[in-house]
């Protein structure tokens, strides 16, 4: 296969060819797929500053024919999905490619029977069960644009997304179990839809068996609908640049934006990066622990593995339930050979007694992956030694919702894998480090803003309903480049080390939140006048959320009052975003450090939150320097 890299020499050759002759390189890679009609041009549009890249324009296809139909001749009885439920006492289930194909077709027919058409937006809010994968693919089969919302977001966060996407249909379930937690997802959706006029129908999958309210003329049970449909459903022919999905992600300003990926480029990038980074072989059992509600779940649980005809494990639960040995138990049980998880999960399991790992052989493992945030050296070594037993290469994969797939990473066992380094860029990826003024920093041993110099097939195409926003955020700050929002270092060997965000985005357990987004949720509390949120180093989560809050009635003078106010702040965040964005520390203050022009000096707040109070830098431009003293004295 043109696209498969197996040696270091092949990597260098592919890198060079993709940089010098991208049309030829990606045209060859694209030959491996099933097309209804081939492309007229491989690359087109204007990458930057317009942000209008196109890939494989003129081609038509359906991504599910590539994920499912094309495997039926040779892999019909191969496992496509292994489902491991939240509770280890419940039976796991398996779906072969033939069965998955049938279920996707049935779900597609149910959607069609309920009026969902090509181009319609479908919001999916479901537990991590096979029906979530099936629904997502069913949307793609009929050309509906899926927007999966992680089932941990609140009703109001769902409503924001449904309304922004003007979704006409929602698919959900009765409830979900995540570890010891239970979430009545259908009733969360009911609350959300009170303010969503565009939604005409809600399809409900029975999972927990909990009672739910079904709204007449809107809500339908999947098990009723599926009885009347065929097990085949023709795939709708899509243009290369038709939208495939919208995935909402946080930025440094405003509400979360709907990142749009399209059919052909995303497909090529998902398969290419999956196969090369993990060095996948036919008999691998692959497990990505991310939820399908995040981009990692989209590209590396669903599309990448299925495009490749691999077996993908889908896990409903959490790493620590019912014990911190769960991941390792599941690996042994299903003979997982490639394991892809997040540093935050590794750190939380590192904190448990080592016996939880030592109890399992983990001998099936071949490759380990990490994603979502920088992996610290201690976690890297623990993962390498205790999980990989010193014999599995670790791929530390740097990428973003906007990049569609992995950009900088070792190719397992082929390119260098060094602790705390993402490594070398994939073929097709041309990273640069920029100074603040936007000049390229040449040579090795350099640190700057990470940007990408040329288009790649998985690049974000637009932000839903607002192309100007995409242009301004990604393509305009440094004309000629895609701006990542991350800072990075290129070491002496030319390996990239990602340092972290340089904007007002914080990364909590690998999940992105804008500080402005959390502040506006906090400000919804009736007890709050103003707030400022910053990130601070957190042992398990990577970054924690530190909130400085000015109260409406002045500083509380007793513990009871203080607790009540803090409770109302947390409640506001849980209601407007979800439990996942709950502040770790709240400091009630009487003022915030502001410049004379009224700008909050976040630099100072960040330093205090980090505990670096001895060196706060210049505070003379502050309107009221005394505020800083109070804040330092009251640090949590």
What is the smallest separation between the CB atom of 48 and ligand 6R9, expressed in angstroms? 18
507 near ligand 6R9, judged by CB under 6 A: yes
What is the smallest separation between the CB atom of 211 and ligand 6R9, expressed in angstroms? 35
> H helices within 437-558, ranges in order?
467-470, 515-522
Nearer to ligand 6R9, 64 or 341 (CB): 341
**Longest pairwise C-alpha distance within the chain:** 74
Nearer to ligand 6R9, 156 or 296 (CB): 296
At a CB cut-off of 8 Å and minimum separation 6, what does 16 contact?
A: none
Report CA torsion sign: 611, 612, 617, 620. positive
Mask for 424-463, x = binds ligand 6R9 (CB under 6 A): ----------------------------------------
Nearer to ligand 6R9, 99 or 504 (CB): 504
Helix (H) or strand (E) holding 586: strand 585-589
Bridge partners of 425, per DSSP, are: 408
- Residue 10, judged by CB atoms within 10 A of its CB (0-12, 13-18, 19+), counts as middle
Contacting range for ligand 6R9; rule: CB under 6 A; set: 124-132, 269-277, 365-373, 544-552? 365-373
Report CA torsion sign: 463, 466, 468, 473. negative
398 near ligand 6R9, judged by CB under 6 A: yes
Nearer to ligand 6R9, 289 or 531 (CB): 289
Bridge partners of 145, per DSSP, are: 121
Candidates 401, 462, 463, 525; binder of ligand 6R9 (CB under 6 A) is 401
Contacting range for ligand 6R9; rule: CB under 6 A; set: 115-123, 281-289, 310-318, 478-486? 478-486
What is the smallest separation between the CB atom of 175 and ligand 6R9, expressed in angstroms? 26
Q: How many residues bind ligand 6R9 (CB under 6 A)?
A: 24
Phi, psi of 499 (to 5 degrees): -95, -40
Q: Specify the residue for token string 């023709």.
A: 234
Candidates 172, 397, 417, 515; binder of ligand 6R9 (CB under 6 A) is 397
Q: What is the rounded distance in angstroms from the CA atom of residue 299 to the CA atom of residue 405?
A: 6
What is the smallest separation between the CB atom of 539 and ligand 6R9, expressed in angstroms? 17
Q: What is the rounded distance in angstroms from the CA atom of residue 506 to the CA atom of residue 373?
A: 10
- For residue 576 the two structure tokens come to 């407007």
- Work out the angle at residue 475's Cα, subtended by the Cα atoms of residues 470 and 479, and round it to the nearest 5 degrees: 155
Helix (H) or strand (E) holding 146: strand 145-148
Q: What is the rounded distance in angstroms from the CA atom of residue 279 to the CA atom of residue 373?
A: 22
Nearer to ligand 6R9, 160 or 396 (CB): 396
What is the number of other CB atoms lying within 10 angstroms of the CB of residue 211?
10
What is the number of other CB atoms lying within 10 angstroms of the CB of residue 110?
23
Query: Mapping DSSP to helix (H, G, I), strand (E, B) and coil, where does residue 135 land?
Result: helix
Find the length of the chain.
636
396 near ligand 6R9, judged by CB under 6 A: yes
270 near ligand 6R9, judged by CB under 6 A: no
What is the smallest separation between the CB atom of 473 and ligand 6R9, expressed in angstroms? 12
Nearer to ligand 6R9, 193 or 426 (CB): 426
Nearer to ligand 6R9, 325 or 485 (CB): 485
- For residue 274 the two structure tokens come to 């999956």
Q: Which region holds residue 506: left if phi is over 0, alpha if psi is between -120 and 50, else beta?
A: beta
Candidates 71, 161, 501, 607; binder of ligand 6R9 (CB under 6 A) is 501
Q: What is the rounded distance in angstroms from the CA atom of residue 40 to the CA atom of residue 545?
A: 48
Contacting range for ligand 6R9; rule: CB under 6 A; set: 64-72, 353-361, 372-380, 551-559? 372-380
423 near ligand 6R9, judged by CB under 6 A: no
Report CA torsion sign: 540, 312, 303, 154. negative
Candidates 112, 367, 498, 581; binder of ligand 6R9 (CB under 6 A) is 498
96 near ligand 6R9, judged by CB under 6 A: no
319 near ligand 6R9, judged by CB under 6 A: no
Q: Which 198-257 residues touch ligand 6R9, going by CB under 6 A?
A: 249
Nearer to ligand 6R9, 56 or 300 (CB): 300
338 near ligand 6R9, judged by CB under 6 A: no
Q: What is the rounded distance in angstroms from the CA atom of residue 302 to the CA atom of residue 306?
A: 6
102 near ligand 6R9, judged by CB under 6 A: no
421 near ligand 6R9, judged by CB under 6 A: no
296 near ligand 6R9, judged by CB under 6 A: yes
Candidates 374, 458, 583, 593; binder of ligand 6R9 (CB under 6 A) is 374
Q: What is the rounded distance in angstroms from the CA atom of residue 366 to the CA atom of residue 388?
A: 8
| In contact, 337 and 285? CB cutoff 8 Å | yes
Nearer to ligand 6R9, 540 or 570 (CB): 540
Candidates 256, 372, 423, 477; binder of ligand 6R9 (CB under 6 A) is 372
Nearer to ligand 6R9, 112 or 259 (CB): 259
Q: What is the rounded distance in angstroms from the CA atom of residue 304 to the CA atom of residue 156?
A: 31
295 near ligand 6R9, judged by CB under 6 A: yes
Candidates 399, 481, 496, 513; binder of ligand 6R9 (CB under 6 A) is 399
Distances (CA, A) of 350 to 29, 315, 330, 368, 636: 40, 20, 17, 16, 25
> H helices within 430-558, ranges in order?
467-470, 515-522
What is the smallest separation between the CB atom of 488 and ligand 6R9, expressed in angstroms? 9
Q: What is the rounded distance in angstroms from the CA atom of residue 348 to the CA atom of residue 341?
A: 12
What is the smallest separation between the CB atom of 511 and ligand 6R9, expressed in angstroms? 6
Candidates 371, 407, 516, 586; binder of ligand 6R9 (CB under 6 A) is 371
Contact residues toward ligand 6R9 (CB under 6 A) are: 249, 294-296, 371-374, 396-401, 422, 484-486, 498, 500-501, 507, 510, 512
């Amino acid at each position: 296969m043109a696209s498969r890299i197996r040696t270091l020499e092949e990597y260098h050759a592919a890198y060079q060819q993709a940089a010098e002759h991208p049309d030829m390189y990606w045209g060859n890679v694209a030959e491996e797929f099933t097309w209804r009609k081939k492309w007229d041009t491989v690359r087109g549009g204007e990458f930057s500053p317009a942000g209008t890249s196109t890939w494989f324009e003129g081609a038509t296809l359906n991504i599910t024919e590539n994920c499912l139909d094309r495997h039926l001749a040779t892999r019909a009885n191969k496992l496509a999905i292994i489902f491991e439920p939240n509770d280890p006492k419940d039976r796991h289930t398996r779906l072969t490619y033939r069965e998955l194909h049938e279920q996707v077709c049935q779900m597609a027919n149910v959607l069609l029977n309920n009026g969902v058409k090509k181009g319609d937006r479908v919001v999916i809010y479901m537990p991590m069960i096979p029906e979530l994968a099936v629904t997502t693919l069913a949307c793609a089969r009929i050309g509906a644009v899926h927007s999966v919302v992680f089932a941990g977001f609140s009703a109001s966060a769902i409503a924001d997304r449904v309304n922004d996407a003007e979704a006409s249909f929602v698919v959900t379930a009765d409830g979900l179990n995540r570890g010891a937690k239970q979430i009545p997802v259908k009733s969360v959706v009911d609350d959300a839809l009170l303010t969503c006029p565009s939604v005409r129908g809600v399809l409900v999958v029975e999972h927990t068996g909990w009672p739910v309210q079904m709204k007449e003329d809107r809500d339908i049970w999947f098990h009723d609908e599926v009885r009347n449909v065929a097990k085949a459903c023709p795939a709708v022919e899509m243009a290369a640049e038709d939208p495939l999905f919208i995935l909402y992600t946080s930025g440094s300003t405003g509400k979360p934006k709907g990142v749009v990926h399209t059919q052909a480029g995303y497909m090529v990038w998902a398969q290419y990066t999956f196969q090369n980074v993990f060095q996948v072989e036919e008999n691998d059992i692959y497990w990505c622990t991310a939820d399908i509600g995040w981009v990692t779940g989209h590209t590396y649980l669903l599309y990448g593995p299925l495009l490749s005809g691999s077996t993908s494990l889908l896990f409903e639960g959490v790493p620590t339930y019912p014990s911190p040995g769960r991941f390792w138990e599941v690996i042994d049980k299903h003979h997982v050979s490639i394991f892809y998880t997040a540093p935050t999960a590794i750190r939380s399991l590192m904190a448990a007694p080592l016996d939880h790992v030592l109890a399992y052989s983990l001998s099936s493992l071949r490759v380990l992956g990490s994603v979502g945030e920088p992996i610290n050296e201690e976690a890297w070594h623990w993962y390498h030694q205790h999980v990989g037993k010193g014999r599995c290469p670790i791929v530390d994969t740097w990428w973003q919702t906007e990049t569609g797939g992995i950009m900088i990473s070792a190719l397992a066992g082929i390119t260098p894998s060094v602790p705390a380094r993402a490594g070398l860029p994939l073929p097709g990826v041309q990273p640069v480090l920029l100074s603040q003024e936007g000049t390229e920093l040449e040579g090795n041993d350099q640190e700057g803003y990470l940007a990408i110099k040329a288009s790649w097939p998985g690049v974000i195409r637009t932000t839903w309903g607002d192309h100007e926003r995409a242009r301004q955020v990604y393509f305009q700050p440094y004309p000629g480049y895609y701006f990542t929002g991350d800072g990075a270092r290129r070491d002496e060997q030319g390996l990239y080390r990602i340092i972290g965000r340089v904007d007002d985005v914080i990364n909590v357990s690998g999940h992105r939140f804008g500080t402005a987004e959390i502040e506006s949720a906090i400000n919804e509390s009736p007890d709050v006048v103003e707030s400022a949120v910053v990130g601070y180093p957190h042992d398990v989560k990577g970054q924690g959320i530190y909130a400085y809050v000015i109260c409406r009635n002045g500083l509380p003078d007793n513990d009871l009052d203080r607790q009540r106010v803090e409770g109302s702040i947390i409640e506001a965040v849980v209601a407007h975003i979800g439990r996942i964005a709950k502040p770790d520390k709240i400091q009630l203050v009487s003022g915030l450090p502001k410049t004379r022009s009224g700008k909050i000096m976040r630099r100072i707040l960040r330093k205090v939150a980090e505990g670096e109070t001895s060196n706060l830098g210049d505070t003379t431009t502050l309107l009221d320097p005394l505020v800083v003293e109070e804040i330092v004295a009251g640090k949590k």
